[in-house]
A and B are shown apart, each in its own frame.
Chain A
Amino acid sequence: MKHFTKLATAAALGTVLGTAAIAQELYTPNLAYRTGPFAATGIPLMNGQADYMTLLNERDGGIGGAKIDFEECETGYSTEKGVECYEKTKGTAIVTQPWSTGITLQVLPKTNVDEIPILAPGYGFSPMADGKVFQWAFNMPAGYWDAADMIVQYLENEGGSLDGKKIAFLHLDHPFGKEPLPVLEMHAEGKGFELLPIPVGLKEMQNQSAQWLQIRRERPDYVVMWGWGAMNAGAITEAVKTKFPMENFLGVWWAGHDADLKLVGEEGKGYKSISWSFPNMDAPVMQEIKERVIDAGLSQTNEEEMQGVFYGRGLVMSMILAEAIKGAQENFGTAEISPTQLRWGLENLNLTEERIAELGMAGMVPPFSTSCANHTGHSGGWMLEWDGSKFVKASDLLKPNVDGYADLIASSAAEYATSNAPWAMNEECSATN
């Protein structure tokens, strides 16, 4: 009997301690893709994300005393697998990071029912900016419509009026590639340029000779690329091959991966990519990650990858999530926050220049803030330019003219809600932006 009592006490104690340990963990799954045709772009991003969370776990014991369980569920960038991963991880998750526009579109209605925030930094469905309609979806610090607007602004600033000019829009034939079309079409109509959409199929990513023959025949003034994965390397090598002037070739932030440009090296000089992040090797966070994560053998990255744009962007993404968790913990006075409380954190981010510097990330992301109505933040970004060996800043901070397409955001969001009725909205949100 004594033995039984001891065993029961030990079991009870173990359960209590175990529960306490579990309670001090925050489960933030990442629907990652380290395999498949898009792995080359996914790996540095995933490494950056994971390393920042490892740094917080190692240095601070997590966030607010709670360790971060940053588990990855491999999707291979497949929408079907992404949905499976979402279903598998949603049980105790406080957030979901779907990592593809296709997966985001699929899980968007599910998260609205399951009440789990989607965090899709710099990707996903652009009307997610409307927080009143998409109360559980966030794509800060900037969306694809912001990117399209900033690229058009940059072209106007650098090359004068776009009236009568021709812009080829080389894009992946996938929901991601088609995302900026509404804003580009709006600008084409308003500014008088001809927009020439050129789709690239998933099986043609590495053989774009037909697309570049079309570009040679049409002689556009600029080529704007919405590329991802192997498509970027394919396009950049074809541009070199067909002698398209690199200074007139620009891409979205996912088409600005160092490894893609290294394939062409000097010949890619002048190629540009709009970006809301910038790798700053002098930032204190980089040194800390090197010492506490990489040198400690807790990372999958390497010296070369660490210096690239995508690794730095991965760090920024996790920093955004960490700041939202921290804000929610402080506001609700608990380390173990719920998905609803995290939503509050994501809606009340205020990443000022000072706060970014305090986090050791000065110059790595522009300041931005969010609200219940503004889930994108519209931070703006820099135009980066390939100098033959790395990306450098080619512009001051560009800010999107959101007012120019605010109606488009509102109408597209409303249209989505209507076609997915009944769609729960945030009726309590009174903020206007």
Chain B
Amino acid sequence: MLNDIFIAPFVDMVEAPDFLMQVLWEGLVSGILYALIALGFVLIFRSSRIFNFAQGIMVVFAALTLVGLFAMGVPAWISVGLTLGVMFVLAVLIERVVLRPLVGQPDIILFMATIGITLFLIGFGETIFGGENKVMITEELGIPTGDTVLEPFGGLLILQHLDITVVIVATLLVLALLAFLNYTQMGRAIRALGDDHQAALSVGISLQTIWVLVWFIAGIIALVTGIAWGARAGVSFALEVIAYKALPVLMLGGLESITGAIVGGLMIGILEKLFEIYWGQPLLGGNTETWFAFVLALIVLLFRPQGLFGERIIERV
């Protein structure tokens, strides 16, 4: 038993380095997508203290709008532009109709409101687009779909062009978001709201504008995530569950930390894949990805209750 836990997995890794590289690559692709979804949660939480339960359904809604517009005969890239427009309108409506009347209410009320948004979007989306599985317009968007086969150490490493594109686009989006938050006035305003609501409002930062902005950014992230996952297994309401994979990322990285979302996403993506392949499947019958990330996050929380990069809250009585 000890051999199976402490020796055999590492022997496997050394004996088949090409396979290990494949595992790490798949983990990286998953991880960067988890990080992207987690960023959507973090941005909204930082600026409004709302845990956005609707992030998952926003992924579905954005992807369905894109393929729905294309099915109506709108050219692919114009569909992308129009979908962004729809996500912007959605952000404005959420701010005006749902959030603004609830300003000052306890956090749990705002959280419940996002559950309401989720249920509304599920019903609305199904009414407009139907529940059938739809094919993502991967080729029409010019996303490459072939693969590159490498033979490292005489073995086999398959790199899907779609996955390479996802990694590049997601990385660029994360970098763009970081640049936006750190070097633009609006970005700094979002961070200021996250740091101190009252102080930010007192210097004239508009809560309404920032909320619309962060929900719109979450919408952009939802669209990119929807395209990436939809290209893998079709666009359907099943995509919603993907968002729940971001929960342990948030626990691990901290709900307020952008760095935490990125590092947490990558860590969970890679570690859950390594654990599943080298320990989970041989020793536990597989399917450990369902719980591994939560256990990892709980272990981290035992030692750092605020998460790896979360802010330590010190309250003096």
Contact = CB atoms under 8 A, between A and B. Distances in A.
Contacts of A201: 287, 289-290
A237 interface: yes
B122 to A, nearest CB: 7
A429 interface: no
Interface in B203-262: 229, 232-234, 236-242, 244-245
Interface string A33-74: 011111110111000000000000000000000000000000
B22 interface: yes
A388 interface: no
Given A35-B122, A199-B287, A203-B290, A210 B131 contact: no
A260 B132 CA distance: 10
Interface residues of A, number: 42
Interface stretch (B88-96, B183-191, B273-281, B297-305): B273-281
B182 interface: no
A39 B131 contact: yes
Contact of A209 (B26, B130, B241, B287): B26
Interface residues of B, number: 41
A234 B287 contact: no
A210 B26 contact: yes
B131 A204 contact: no
A39 B277 contact: no
B140 interface: no
Contacts of B238: 36-38, 40, 205-206, 229-230
Interface string A284-315: 00000000000000000000010000000000
Contacts of B130: 43
Interface in A240-264: 241-243, 259-260, 262-263
B236 A204 contact: no
Given A35-B126, A202-B241, A203-B290, A230 B285 contact: no
Main DSSP-derived SS at the A contact region: helix
B121 interface: no
Nearest to A38: B238
A50 B147 CA distance: 43
B286 A214 contact: yes
A42 B131 contact: yes
A230 B289 contact: no
Contact of B241 (A203, A233, A262): A203
A207 B122 CA distance: 22
A305 B134 CA distance: 12
A201 B284 CA distance: 14
Contacts of B240: 37
Contacts of B147: 241
A211 B286 contact: yes
A146 B236 CA distance: 31
A209 B285 contact: no
A203 B158 contact: no
B158 A243 contact: yes
Nearest to A206: B233
B277 A210 contact: yes
Given A210-B281, A214-B286, A217-B19, 8 more contacts: A34-B131, A37-B241, A39-B131, A39-B236, A200-B287, A206-B238, A209-B29, A217-B16
**Nearest 5 A-B pairs (CB), nearest first?**
A39-B131, A230-B238, A40-B133, A37-B238, A201-B290
15 contacts: A34-B126, A37-B241, A38-B238, A39-B131, A39-B132, A199-B286, A204-B290, A207-B242, A209-B30, A213-B23, A213-B277, A233-B133, A233-B234, A243-B158, A260-B133
